[in-house]
Structure 1
Amino acid sequence: MKQHSSAARERMRASVHPVYASHILEPIFEFNCRHNFYPLLDAHRAWLVMLAEQKLVPQPDAAAIFRALDELEKTGPDALRPFDASVEFYYLHMERALVARVPGGEAVVGNLNLGRTRPEPLHRMVLRERLLRVLDDVLRTRQTLIERADAEAETVMPGYTHLLHAQPTTLGHYLAAIHDHLMRDTQRLLAAYETTDRCTLGCGAMSGTSLPIDRQRVRELLGFAALCENTLDSVSSTDHAAQAAAALASVMTLIGRLAQDLYIFSSQEFGMIDVTDTFASPSSLMPQKKNGLVLEYVRARTAQTIGALTSCLAVMHNVGYMDTEDVELENYRPLFDALTHVDEALPTMQALIEVMQPDRELMRQRAASGFSSVTALAETIQTREKVSYRTAHRVVARAVLLAVERRRDATGIDAALLNEAARETLGRELTLDQSAIAQALDPRQFVQHHAGIGATAPKEVRRMVAERRDVLVRDREGLATRRQRLESAKKALRSAAAAVAKS
């Protein structure tokens, strides 16, 4: 029987144009070599087990194909190289490699394609593993944030709104806030994982198949939690990719904002955070420089991840609900880029958070001098003087104006200046003494007294940290369960393939 080099070009008389081959098809082939070689082997094994169990493929033929798949696995992606434009598709490169290794060639291997077409759950299989890796990094980063938040629960610093001193907070309270955003991002990533974890195999080209295949058996062997049931949906849907890209963009938007804060806090003008020498870079010209370039690299990866989300959506926005290369391939290229950006940025930021050094005394001084505690002074006036908060606000605002005009910082607000402000706004002096004013303006007192749910008091921060530790334990257990299901499926697939081969 004549052995055909490719099933793809029987419809065409002319060969693939060399420009099309070199600029489009070969890069796609290499993309598949990097990402889809091993998933395709497992998809073949699962499908072949099912075909043999359903008596659609003779056992000796299945055994021969299993042996050839094992040979390919030992060799790796090079078993399919070099790219051959006459074969074109990656799927058919592997089919050709199997034909060359299986006695009987195409007459045997050709039945591996029964009821199938090229849209496979390969990218879903890759995406599951990559999302689990990202989730590992997210949980490690959350652990570091929790530990640093606990350690810095009493590290007083200015809190900012509009990049101006607002109210005193602590570094621990700030890091706990970053953690909580990342805790919600964990749920977004898990939701993307669940949407991805649906098996499309067995959908045919779009309408299923008339053969007595068992889609549930294939799903089990590949470790998917559920089927993507509708066969047209199986070849057309891309929401799992968009959802994953959106979750990754949310993670990186947070990480980019954190990087920008640390970039500012570590500048000479702020000087509150030292990224340490281990995360600093020199200048080739200026001897004095200690640059926090790491934060610039992270910010750039944030932008690139957001760009990848935009690309995923843009690729699909005008594509019909059908199988196209936009759906099969092009949608995943920016998504896999986004995964790489997160893989690079998140562990880097986790390690930086772990070692960064705050200048605690400078942070306290900045909080004390920068008028961020004057809200407490207004509240004290409201309570002691029996006036409305708005009236007290007017008095304190005028006191700040007078202090600034006289080149004083917040520590220069004394009873005389406050009474001057009161006379200008209320027409009378206040009864507050210097001790009450100093206590109201002390940022450490401010932090301690703000002890409501979620507030800055060290005791409250540590309560939140303790609860987050419990959530982190549960999230780790959930991640371990998902990973265990994939590992169990891999073992079950190997066992089922061996059983078919030996029966």
Structure 2
Amino acid sequence: MSDILRRGRLTSTPDEDMINFTSSMSADKWIFEADILVDMAHTVMLHEQGIIKEKDCSSILGGLLKIKEEGIGKLDHSYEDIHISLESRLIDIVGEDTGGRMHSGRSRNDEVATCIRIRLRDELLSLMEELIVLRMTLLEKASENTETLMPGFTHLQHAQPTTFAHHLVAHSDAIGRDIERIIGAFSRVNKCPLGSAAFASTGFDLDRERTRSLLGFDDLLGNSMDAVSTRDFLIESASAMANIMVNLSKMAEEIIIWSSSEFSFVELDDMYASTSSIMPQKKNPDSAELVRGKAGTVIGSLMALLSLCKALPLSYNRDLQEATPNMWRAVETTRSAVRITKGMIATMKINTESMAEKSVLGFTTATELADTLVRTAGIPFRTAHQIVGVLARGNGRPTLDEIDAVAQSILGESLSERGLTGDMVKEALDPVMNIRRRAITGGPAPDEVRRAIKVRQEEIKNTQSTIESLNRSVEDALNILFSVVEGYTGKEI
């Protein structure tokens, strides 16, 4: 293949160690198809602007289609990046007098920035769809468990009774915000840098709006220096993914704890568990542990991106080559973790008896008892808090007589004299009644949780419509590009 890059200014050839050190080909496999799209759009625009002849345009497009059919494996991987390798292969196919015209008015700087954005937007769209499925799964499981008692925790200590549905809706809401963040990131990813050249644009009369439209971008990046040098869109996307992984890691941690004999709240499906090489009785929640562990991988990718971009002078610097492997690592890890988490939740067995049994351990009904004292006896909450705090030193099932005894020592009078009855105490200590009382917006009362689930299911429908619209916009634009290319080459894409 033609050494089209180094033959002019440079006279020596780098050795194998230098080639390996500088090459981005291993990460560039992610953008192979995006690079062909960019080349196609740029070539079409060059002809429409009268910069290259129609014959050359048709030949270049035909060569690009051949390269697409051959696949990335046919390219020479000894080049430092896919852009030069692809262009070199094109020149081998159609000749330099024709293929050498494709790069007119363009630099690898704006080319690679455009390719990365195209591939990343596709990954973000797929991630949105996978997050939607995860959120739906959480809500479906919640709808099956609106009456399933479980202990709620703060500081991992038994706190108050709640329901499994209430707990799952909390995770669903976190994932809902993650989806919103990805949609927001998409709006800033889907902007076109093509036409900015190295950093100072070009003297060729390019039509940037035409290539933007053909490639399905929503807008142009207006400053050519910013367009080629910024990687803030990678940082923002990786940040959103790190946040997703933190949320998934929380779920994974709970699944791990809940799977233990001490809790025995859930059992993972065999598909998502492993066993021990020595202890035959073991069923380990390995999938959840790996989700928890892989959160560190994505957080690490974000830290690497931040470190790479810190203090880089404008405009383009080769340091940025190291950014994309971290982005693709974050993408691949996050998307797989979302899918695995969905599978674990959809298939896990819920031990409702164990959850209900432990919903009252640790005097979880203490808050409702204190509230009952306030409502019925008219005492300040802090006084009720003190009375119940003293009672908490006992077995967690105080009688009316025991409550009166403590009240007598603190207030100098019994609360039964203020209207507190044994039935009221019994009701306050009942976890089911505890939950039903908490029927305000966002509470765990079954009717309120059912209402909340319906609201969130409607939110999902609206979000799905947004994602479908984003997908359709990109697909429609690329179909126009393919139609134009077919018109020049006579070959259907």
TM-score, scaled relative to structure 2: 0.95
Query: Which whole-Å deviations, capped at 9, do the CAs of 1:460-482 have from their partners, x for residues lacking one?
Result: 11111111111100111111111
Aligned to 2:279: 286
Partners of 1:205 and 1:227 in 2: how far apart? 16
Aligned to 1:221: 214
Matched, 1:162 2:158: no
Q: How far 1:498 sits from its partner (Å)?
A: 2.4
Match of 2:343 among 328, 336, 351: 351
* 2:382 counterpart SS class: helix
Partners of 2:73 and 2:252 in 1: how far apart? 40
Structure 1: runs of 5 or more not aligned: none
Matched, 1:455 2:447: no
Aligned residue type for 1:330: E
Aligned to 1:69: 64
Matched, 1:19 2:11: no
Q: What are the within-5 Å matches in structure 2 for residues 419-458 of structure 1?
A: 419-431=404-416, 432-458=420-446
* 1:322 counterpart SS class: coil
Match of 1:29 among 19, 25, 28: 25
Aligned to 1:491: 479
Query: Which whole-Å deviations, capped at 9, do the CAs of 1:396-446 have from their partners, x for residues lacking one?
Result: 110111x1xxxx3x2x32223323322332233331333221110111001
Aligned residue type for 1:447: I
Partners of 2:220 and 2:367 in 1: how far apart? 57
Match of 1:60 among 34, 44, 55: 55
Decide whether the 8 Å contact of 2:158 with 2:361 is kept in 1: no
Q: What are the within-5 Å matches in structure 2 for residues 364-383 of structure 1?
A: 364-383=356-375
Partners of 1:93 and 1:279 in 2: how far apart? 42
* 2:158 counterpart SS class: strand
Partners of 2:370 and 2:283 in 1: how far apart? 42
Partners of 2:85 and 2:271 in 1: how far apart? 47
Partners of 2:103 and 2:197 in 1: how far apart? 10
Matched, 1:91 2:93: no
Partners of 1:394 and 1:88 in 2: how far apart? 72
Decide whether the 8 Å contact of 1:439 with 1:445 is kept in 2: yes
Partners of 2:184 and 2:37 in 1: how far apart? 25
Match of 1:478 among 466, 484, 487: 466
Aligned to 2:324: 332
Q: How far 1:351 sits from its partner (Å)?
A: 1.1
Partners of 2:107 and 2:337 in 1: how far apart? 37
Decide whether the 8 Å contact of 2:234 with 2:327 is kept in 1: yes
Decide whether the 8 Å contact of 1:46 with 1:222 is kept in 2: yes
Q: How far 1:141 sits from its partner (Å)?
A: 0.4
Query: Which whole-Å deviations, capped at 9, do the CAs of 1:220-265 have from their partners, x for residues lacking one?
Result: 1111111112111111111111110011011111010111112112
Partners of 1:8 and 1:196 in 2: how far apart? 32
Task: Return 192-201 or 277-286, whichever deviates more.
Answer: 277-286
Aligned to 1:172: 165
Task: Return 467-476 or 418-427, whichever deviates more.
Answer: 418-427
Q: How far 1:489 sits from its partner (Å)?
A: 1.6
Decide whether the 8 Å contact of 1:52 with 1:500 is kept in 2: no
Query: Which whole-Å deviations, capped at 9, do the CAs of 1:299-323 have from their partners, x for residues lacking one?
Result: 0111111111111111111211211
Q: How far 1:382 sits from its partner (Å)?
A: 1.4
Q: How far 1:136 sits from its partner (Å)?
A: 1.0
Aligned residue type for 1:71: K
Aligned residue type for 1:112: M
Match of 1:311 among 304, 308, 318: 304
Aligned to 1:106: 96
Aligned residue type for 2:356: R
Decide whether the 8 Å contact of 1:43 with 1:122 is kept in 2: yes
Q: How far 1:88 sits from its partner (Å)?
A: 3.3
Task: Return 482-491 or 15-24, whichever deviates more.
Answer: 15-24
Partners of 1:163 and 1:122 in 2: how far apart? 46
Give the aligned CA root-mean-square deviation in angstroms.
1.5
* 2:360 counterpart SS class: helix
The sequence identity of aligned pairs, in percent, is 30
Q: What are the within-5 Å matches in structure 2 for residues 36-47 of structure 1?
A: 36-47=31-42
Matched, 1:245 2:238: yes
Partners of 1:36 and 1:147 in 2: how far apart? 37
Aligned to 1:256: 249
Aligned residue type for 2:415: L
* 1:67 counterpart SS class: helix
Q: How many residues are aligned here?
A: 484
Query: Which whole-Å deviations, capped at 9, do the CAs of 1:367-418 have from their partners, x for residues lacking one?
Result: 12331111111111112222111111111110111x1xxxx3x2x3222332
Partners of 1:148 and 1:213 in 2: how far apart? 54
Aligned residue type for 1:215: R
Partners of 1:200 and 1:261 in 2: how far apart? 43
* 1:176 counterpart SS class: helix
Aligned residue type for 1:387: I
* 1:93 counterpart SS class: helix
Q: How far 1:62 sits from its partner (Å)?
A: 1.0
Match of 1:117 among 94, 102, 107: 107
Aligned residue type for 1:157: M
Query: Which whole-Å deviations, capped at 9, do the CAs of 1:36-65 have from their partners, x for residues lacking one?
Result: 211111111100100111111111111111
Q: How far 1:99 sits from its partner (Å)?
A: 1.1
Decide whether the 8 Å contact of 1:68 with 1:98 is kept in 2: yes
* 1:111 counterpart SS class: coil
